[in-house]
Amino acid sequence: MRHIKFLYIIFLLSLISCGSADTGNAAKGTISWLPYASTDKGQVCVDEGISSPTIDIACRELRGHWDGAPVNIHRTTDGDAIGKNGFAISQSDSQVDIYAPDDLGILYGVYALLRNPELGRDGRVEESPFYDLRLLNHWDNLNGTIERGYAGKSLWKWEELPDSVSPRYEEYARANAAIGINGAVLNNVNASPKILSEEYLKKVAVLADIFRPYGIKVYLSVNFASPMVLDSLPTADPLNPEVVKWWTGKADEIYSLIPDFGGFLVKANSEGQPGPMDFGRTHADGANMLAEALKPHDGVVMWRAFVYSPADADRAKQAYLEFQPLDGKFADNVIIQIKNGPVDFQPREPYSPLFSAMAQTDVMAEFQITQEYLGHANHLAYLAPMWTEFFDYVQPFDAIAGVANIGDDDNWTGHPLAQANWYAFGRLAWNPQLTSTQIADEWLSMALVDKARTPEDVYESLLGMFDTSREAVVDYMMPLGLHHLFAFGHHYGPEPWCDVEGARPDWLPKYYHRADSIGLGFDRSPSGSNAVGQYPEPLRSQLASVETCPEEFLLWFHHVPWSHRMKSGNTLWEELCIAYQRGVEKVEEYQQTWEKAEPYISPELYADVETRLATQLKDAKWWRDACLQYFAQYSKMPIPAEIASEMRPLEELMKIHLPITNYKSPTPALLDSLR
Ligand code: GCW
């Protein structure tokens, strides 16, 4: 057995208990799950021989924020079966022991303990991450804007780097490490080739240096035409030897600056981005060529399967059609990154059938944490239920990514409660077995209220608000499997009628809802596009029939007559009216919950969310009024009088056009001036 000598370090400051963050953290410009309170007691004992920048951070966090019994940190021996980057914790009144096979495991153990000071009290607790790669994808442009970002500008101040370094870079790394995220793709998948220039790689290297001790690897999105744009090569054909040489050289250059660089994320032949198909090659040709360049350095290629073209049938089938035939053709260090649903991050989608069709290929899920389609930074939509719903259908796969909702706003995420979505993504990437309620409970008690001082009914209402909020958005935007009823471009408000001259049909709502005098919904059954045929049995048969298709996906898979009897006994039309109204009433309920919770929430946070909920309610009504009145033109059925009486006329609603870009949430003032 190894000789172990303990080094005890005792600090004598402040009295505030750690683990229970100040209430209202979310509003203060701080990360709600990080410990900030300082303590005088943090005693840490480290196994001799363990020393690294990561261990230094672990110790610093304990010394600064832990006020329990002394903590002993141990490196485990080979015989101990704790998984890579995992940890075990046990504690008694007199000591706490953290065991881990590696430095990062120790850091994760420390953050777990700080988050839950009781961890390991009732017996040894052992954890290790479920997915090896747990990444954030930033859709940040080099000019500081963020595609589909609603929390200000990019955190990365490219014009200041590499010389000037914002303190927020380290805070970002700390926040991610504390929830187990271990990688960040820094730039937009609609990638500027410039990111691979020497000038930018030097900036990237500075970020990588800051993130490294926190276990966060840096990755980059790359533009497939980079050799042409940066170095005037006549082609980017992946089989051309000059192109291969260019990428090999570029990989070597990157690794000389960033020895632990993670790899590339690629959006190719999608929405106008260049790719191997421009040169008559396949996705596999393109991905494998990049993979070969990265392989000597242990880098990976994450190749996105978000592809569709206007010419082909049903957009929901296209990723599968394009990628499934390539199963088994990808190199070992290629991972196919697939959006959770087959279309595009809608409030509710069935899982993408590609996940069950790539048995010989590594695949990873891409979730969208930023709320492109769920009310931007104006709506409360806690997304963990959406993701756990996905896990119910699909598991396991190899890695996971979330499109970040982070920007340089003081509160990091625009809507202060949207920090919960960043948190939930990290927690689920660590352990997809956690329930959405468990995670909401963790977050609420750290970020929003002091659980011990909040009456149980108030706390339960807040928890209920979180847990139902995504379903409420589904109800007031697009219930029963409806999808993509959004206004063109900014994806904020309702435009089921939208017609843009010259626009691709698959970018327009009518393509998706197919309302007519008979009914509503997209027929993807065997008699329609047969998208159901891409799902494995028995799910395929279940989805194929109107009778057995889960009602939350009904209009996704079927064109259903307006008078179809739903399980409740109501007609489809009645059920649609009920759902839209239920969504509106849910938001009214959230306002009451919020009011009830006022005494227990910091005033600043209270006021901020109160304003956002008011906007959310107006938006919910806007959605309800627009969709129901528009669809009523086809159903020729009445909208219940109590709803109809408070509706704004459809002609007025059709005149609303939000003059906003992709990069901003509309302000309440703008919305009020238009509606
Ligand atoms: O969700 C859509 C967005 C685009 C995005 C694209 C993608 C980055 O509207 O803004 O581009 O998907 O995922 O590539």
pLDDT digits (tens, 9 = 90+) for 609-631: 999 999 999 999 999 999 999 99
- What integer is the mean pLDDT of 96-107? 96
Domain count, the chain: 3
pLDDT at 349 over 60: yes
**565 and 625 assigned to the same domain:** yes
Q: Are residues 123 and 247 in the same domain?
A: no
| 516 is a domain residue | yes
Its pTM stands at 0.95
pLDDT of residue 651: 96
Average pLDDT over residues 531-545: 98
- Assigned domain for 419 exists: no
Which position among 199, 253, 271, 298 bears the catalytic label? 271
Q: Looking at residues 400-410, what average pLDDT do you find?
A: 97
Same domain as 334, residue 284 = yes
pLDDT at 590 over 90: yes
186 pLDDT higher than 70 = yes
Name the token pair of 629.
């009145």
Is residue 87's pLDDT more than 90?
Answer: yes
Sign of the torsion formed by the C-alpha atoms of 349, 353, 354 and 360: positive
Q: Is 260 a catalytic residue?
A: no
Asked if residue 171 is part of any domain, the answer here is yes
Average pLDDT value for residue range 53-73:
94
Contact 284, 321 (CB under 8 A): no
> Of these residues, 103, 285, 372, 523, which one is catalytic?
372
Give the pLDDT band of residue 79 (cuts 50, 70, 90): low
Burial class (CB in 10 A: 0-12, 13-18, 19+), 275: buried
Indicate the top mutation candidate among 148, 318, 403 to test ligand 1's pocket, ranked by most ligand atoms within 8 A of CB. 148
Residue 463's Cα: distance from chain center in Å?
20
Quickly state the pLDDT bin for 3 (edges 50, 70, 90).
very low
| Residue 119 sits in the same domain as residue 200 | no
Q: pLDDT tier at 353 (50, 70, 90 boundaries)?
A: very high
Choosing from 141, 270, 308, 344 the residue with most ligand 1 atoms within 8 A of its CB, the one to mutate for a pocket test is 344
Mark which of 95, 127, 159 sits at the end of a domain. Answer: 127
What CATH number is given to the structural domain containing 47? 3.30.379.10
DSSP code string of 304-364: E-----TTSS-GGGHHHHHHGGGTT-S-TTEEEEEESSSSS--SS-PPPGGGGS-TTSEEE
How far is residue 73 from each of residues 42, 324, 584, measured CA to CA in Å? 13, 47, 51
Q: Please give the number of the atom of ligand 1 that sits closest to the Cα of 270.
A: 14
663 belongs to a structural domain: yes
pLDDT-above-90 percentage for the chain: 86
392: confidence class by pLDDT, cuts 50, 70, 90: very high
Point out the ligand 1 atom lying closest to the alpha carbon of residue 366: 13
User: What's the pLDDT score for residue 28?
Assistant: 60
Does residue 344 have an active-site annotation?
A: yes
pLDDT at position 419: 97
pLDDT at 50: 86
- Residue 189 alpha carbon to ligand 1 centre in Å: 8
| Residue 545 maps to a domain | no
Using pLDDT thresholds of 50, 70 and 90, give the confidence band for residue 267: very high
Neighbours of 492 (CB within 10 A): 25
Q: CA–CA distance from 547 to each of 83, 353, 406, 543, 590 (Å)?
A: 45, 21, 42, 9, 34
Task: Determine, yes or no, domain membership for 459.
Answer: no
Q: Whole-number mean pLDDT of the chain?
A: 93
| Residues 111 and 191 grouped into a single domain | no
For residue range 439-473, what is the model confidence (pLDDT) as tens digits?
999 999 998 999 999 999 999 999 999 999 999 99
Helices 384-393 and 436-447, axial angle in degrees (round to 10):
160
In a domain, 452, yes or no: no
Which of 19, 15, 67, 65 shows the shortest CA–CA distance to 41? 67
From 327, 324, 308, 315, select the one nearest 267 (Cα to Cα). 308
| pLDDT at site 308 | 87
Among 127, 152, 167, which residue terminates a domain?
127
Here the CATH number for the domain that contains residue 317 is: 3.20.20.80
Angle formed at CA 352 by CA 348 and CA 357, multiple of 5 degrees? 165
Which range of residues forms the domain containing residue 608? 474-522+559-674
Residues 6+ apart with CB under 8 A from 669: none
Pick from 65, 96, 127: which residue ends a domain? 127
Question: 158 and 112, same structural domain?
Answer: no
Is the domain of 64 the same as that of 111?
yes
**361 and 255 in a common domain:** yes
Residue 123 shares a structural domain with residue 142: no
Residues 178 and 239 in one domain: yes
User: Is 327 a residue whose pLDDT tops 60?
Assistant: yes
CA of 513 to the centre of ligand 1 (A): 21
Contacts of 534 by beta carbon, 8 Å cutoff, 6+ apart: 317, 320, 353, 354, 357
Is the pLDDT score of 662 beyond 90?
Answer: no
Q: Model confidence over 274-321: pLDDT tens digits?
A: 999 999 999 999 999 999 999 999 999 999 999 988 767 799 999 999
Catalytic residue list contains 349: no
3-state DSSP: the chain helix, strand, coil percent, rounded to 5? 40, 10, 45
Q: Is residue 430 domain-resident?
A: no
Residue range 463-488: mean pLDDT, rounded: 97
Same domain, 141 and 259: yes
Whole-number pLDDT of residue 26 = 54
Ligand 1 residue neighbourhood (C-beta within 6 Å): 139, 147-148, 189-190, 267, 271, 306, 344-345, 372
**Interatomic CA distance for residues 543 and 237, integer angstroms:** 41
User: Do 162 and 66 belong to one domain?
Assistant: no
pLDDT for 219 beyond 60? yes
In the structure, what pLDDT confidence band is assigned to residue 11 with cuts at 50, 70 and 90? Answer: very low
Residue 339 CA: nearest ligand 1 atom is 13
Residue 160 in this model has a pLDDT that exceeds 90: yes
Tell me the CA–centroid distance for residue 370 and ligand 1, in Å: 11
Amino acid at 105: G
CATH number of the CATH domain containing 603: 3.90.1330.10
Q: What pLDDT is recorded for position 21?
A: 37
Cα of 509 vs centre of ligand 1, distance in Å, is 16
Ligand 1 midpoint to CA 146 (Å): 11
User: How long, in residues, is the chain?
Assistant: 675
Q: How far apart are CA 493 and CA 626, in angstroms?
A: 9
Q: Which of 47, 103, 344, 467 is catalytic?
A: 344
Average pLDDT, integer, range 12-35: 53
